[in-house]
Amino acid sequence: MTNDERFEVRREIAASPAEIFAVLREPRGHVAIDSSGMLQSATGEPVGKTGDEFVVHMDREALNDLPMGKYDVTVIITRFTEDAELEWTISGTIQPPIKHLYGYRLEPSAKGTLVTTYYDWSQIEDRYRGRVNFPIIPEAGLRATLGILARTVEQR
How does pLDDT run across 34-60, given as a tens digit for each residue? 998 888 999 999 999 999 999 999 887
* Three-point CA angle 120, 124, 125, nearest 5°: 175
List pLDDT tens digits, range 130-144. 777 788 788 999 999
Characterize 80-102 residue by residue with b for buried, 16 or more Cβ atoms within 10 angstroms of its Cβ, and e for exposed: beebebbbbbbbbebeebbbbbb
DSSP run (H or E) holding 27: helix 27-33
pLDDT at 3: 66
Domains contained in the chain, CATH given: 2-154 (3.30.530.20)
What is the rounded CA–CA span in Å between residue 59 and residue 39?
7
pTM here is 0.90
List pLDDT tens digits, range 94-128. 777 888 899 999 999 999 999 999 999 998 888 88
- Exposed, middle or buried, 111 (CB in 10 Å: 0-12/13-18/19+)? exposed
Question: Quick one: CA dihedral 30, 31, 33, 35, positive or negative?
Answer: positive
